[in-house]
Amino acid sequence: MTATADGRLDPQYEAEPAAESSTAEEGDSPESESAAEPAGEPAKDVRALAAETLERATAHLLGLQDAEGWWKGNLETNVTMDAEDLLLRQFLGIRTEEQTRATADWIRSQQQPDGTWATFYGGPAELSTTVEAYVALKLAGDDPQAPHMRRAAAYVREQGGIAAARVFTRIWLALFGWWPWDRLPELPPEVIFLPRGFPLNIYSFGCWARQTIVPLTVVSAHRPVRPAPFDLDELHADPADPYPVRPFAAPYTWDGLFERLDRVLHLYHRMPVRPVRRMALAQAAKWIVDRQEADGCWGGIQPPAVYSLIALHLLGYPLDHPVMEAGLAAFERFTVHTDEGHRWIEACQSPVWDTCLAVVALADAGVAKDHPALVKATDWMLGEEITRPGDWAVQRPDLSPGGWAFEFENDNYPDVDDTAEVVLALRRVVHPDPERVDGAVRRGVDWTMGMQSKNGAWAAFDVDNTSSLPNKLPFCDFGEVVDPPSADVTAHVVEMLAAVGRSADPRVRRGVDWLLREQEEDGSWFGRWGTNYIYGVGSVVPALVAAGLPASHSAVRRAVEWLEQHQNADGGWGEDMRSYSDRSWAGRGTSTASQTAWALMALLAAGETGEVVDRGVGWLAATQLPEGTWDEPEFTGTGFPWDFSINYNLYRLVFPVTALGRYLHGTPELDGGVPFDERSANRLRAELPPPARLLPSLTGRRSR
């Protein structure tokens, strides 16, 4: 693997593995997977193999650090990012031939043999992604009669055509007259006036959703149509009836209720109260501009950025306005150029997340705590601390700020997960200005504890953002639009608070009890931000042990048993994204470096030292590339479970380094936990609402 000049990882891999290993077939059962011989060279001492592997990986990771102190791997998602980039530029009139050629080359390179596109590596065909990719290629000049285009169009028609695509895809098509605006759910800008506490006010939505919805209300109010450069008749299932009317659901259902409400809103669109509409649009414009970050982006992610640019353009902002110029420049920083001449767009960038994980990994691997690389990374992380209120303050107006975001610039939305991991990283470094570090840690800890939801757990961005209504809107047919607490975020917080000596705090105990209640019947945990049950177990077990649960605790033993049952025949672990939609895939998939490392981190935290662990370490040693990293085209991260998958290109390196370091040196004890036995857990449990009284949405899981 190679690094680009700015320290990012090139997503193309050509190197051969350092050694070969067998991989389990996707259909193998967990029972058959765990019965095979370990990978690698069984005759060689496993610790010696681990040490050699770790030395190469550590050197490679150190070499990827940017001169400013940060690490950042490319964040791969799917070709809708690239297709929408071309459509945005077409809408604004700024698309260039070179951008189009390089982007189209990338989109073609990601097409599957059957002519479709998936949302993750090796995944099934996905209709909306295929529609958007097809349109982008047609925009680039690809002949609809070319074999690759004919195959794609045939798939779209077989799946119901454009009419069956998600709302967001049809919005993009409506911008060019390929879909009628009146056949889309209506979202009036007047929602900006709904007060906090009123159902479906903008703060009922997760931060990523509200930042997308507000500009989309402006777009919906204007209903712009740019001249279409071609038609899309070949993508309709029935060209004679391209815009079929769907019958309403029963009126006593949520779907039926909101469908009828949508019809009312469509009538209002035709006859709005003009002064109110003008005020709503002005307020929406102010809301959008106020939330533009220093780097020109919005929320650090693609969807709110593209829709904010379109909305402001419709409101009269010229392309040379500083707000528009900064927004468009941000997309250039999100652009990746490959050695093959391809061009693709990151949906987001993850320098803070990657940097804190890299520091944890290197420290746990035995790198000196005052190593210049760790000190430089600490300086950079300290400079990224956010000390002003953001949207989170709507729910916590009296909470003092202090935390970290995921991206280079996203001061309005620090998140709990990054803050927890940054604190864990800072606690591992000996810095020449310890008072500065201690102050940042203290503020981060206080802010994180103040972000606890009422059920005792933590979400990523907001507190008690658990309403079930937003997900029922006709508009919201793609991904999560709320931010309920999750097991992985809660676990990282618990682990962090234990590391700073807060294990005995009642708020930590409530978090631990919530995690115990959330354990699945089979012993695993659902992973909200990583794939999936392996990530859940890999996050929760180290946290529970750090908080004082003994390795003999029944929850820990059940989790260990689950990992043992799901080890692949080659010694590694893997889990396919399909586990989010099909529980039979839980813990099943091609072995990956990141997921193998997560499993090992849990097993090591639980005190396991036997054959299962050694086989996992052996798999990492056997599959390491010569330069010290691992090949991992599989996606093991999530934005929205199942709907939006992520390949964090640095995961394949930082987590194996962490796992191998803990295998050789033990799990670090920063402050130690306070013993937490089952009797104290039972006492605490008696003080909290029983699980049956908690809404299903509070679990962080989608129905499955």
Q: Which residues are catalytic, by number?
A: 417
User: Among 332, 345, 308, 283, which Cα is nearest to 92's?
Assistant: 308
**Phi and psi at residue 533, to the nearest 5°:** -70, -30
For 34-59, letters b (16+ CB in 10 Å) and e give bebebbbeeeeebeebbeebbebbbe
Q: What is the DSSP letter of 248?
A: P
Q: Does residue 649 sit in helix, strand or coil?
A: coil
Query: Residue 444 in contact with residue 423, Cβ under 8 Å?
Result: yes
Q: Does residue 533 sit in helix, strand or coil?
A: helix
Say what angle helices 593-605 and 651-665 make with each other, to 10 degrees: 30
Query: Residue 202 in contact with residue 191, Cβ under 8 Å?
Result: yes
Residue 505 CB coordination number (10 Å): 15
Provide the token pair at 638.
Answer: 């999530």
DSSP 192-211: GGSPTTSTT-GGGS-HHHHH
User: How far is Cα 64 from Cα 162, in angstroms, rounded to an integer?
Assistant: 43
Residue 251 CB coordination number (10 Å): 10
User: How far is Cα 485 from Cα 473, in angstroms, rounded to an integer?
Assistant: 21
Cα dihedral across residues 650, 652, 653, 657: positive or negative? positive
Residue 612 CB coordination number (10 Å): 19
Strands 637-640, 644-648: parallel, antiparallel or unpaired by DSSP? antiparallel
Q: Does residue 321 sit in helix, strand or coil?
A: coil
Amino acid at 437: V
How many CA atoms are closer than 13 Å to the CA of 86, on its beta-carbon side? 28
